Amino acid sequence: MEDSISMTRARVLLAARITGHIAWWIFIVATLFAGGITWLGLDDEGVFSGPSTGWTAYTPLTDATVGIANFTGPAPYEWWTEPEVFSAVAFAIVIIAAVTEAVAVRRVVPAIVTVVAPVVALGILIVVTPGVVDSWQLGTMTTMGAVLLAVAVREFWARRH
């Protein structure tokens, strides 16, 4: 019975690690394509503003080019094609996988660091996202170094064992 439980826990741990690795790299690539952590919707003052699609609830009533019956108007906004959507979803999967791994490990300190490491990496990426900190003008090499540091923080911990 105990052997069956430990085998199940080992399978869950392996699945969480594999899922976490895949989601992490999807997150990193999508974030780079999106131009940084843009899915938080922070403006130059660090205030949440949300993504703007140019569409409001009143657009169908005020704009003749938008509507169900208008087939000649512009293509509808397809949110699922945006890299920031892939970035946000992949990061959510990274966190879910980290929590799953933390529970499967059943040791307090490694469990906490397993969840905190990707959050720290996210924080680094938020800071170097253009426009988040208005007074900073980071050069290409500084930004690249920060992105590599963010990747290293998560990868070092994820591959430590």
Long-range contacts of 2-8 (CB under 8 A, 24+ apart): none
pTM for the whole structure: 0.75
Each residue's pLDDT expressed in tens, for the chain with a length of 161 residues: 667 778 888 999 999 999 999 999 999 999 999 989 988 875 555 444 544 444 434 344 444 554 444 455 566 667 778 899 999 999 999 999 999 999 998 889 999 999 999 999 999 999 988 877 777 778 889 989 999 999 999 999 888 75
Q: Which residue pairs from 27-32 have beta carbons closer than 8 angstroms and sit at least 24 positions apart in sequence?
A: 27/86, 27/87, 27/90, 27/91, 27/94, 28/151, 30/83, 30/84, 30/86, 30/87, 30/90, 31/83, 31/87, 31/125, 32/147
Q: How far apart are CA 99 and CA 101, in angstroms?
A: 5
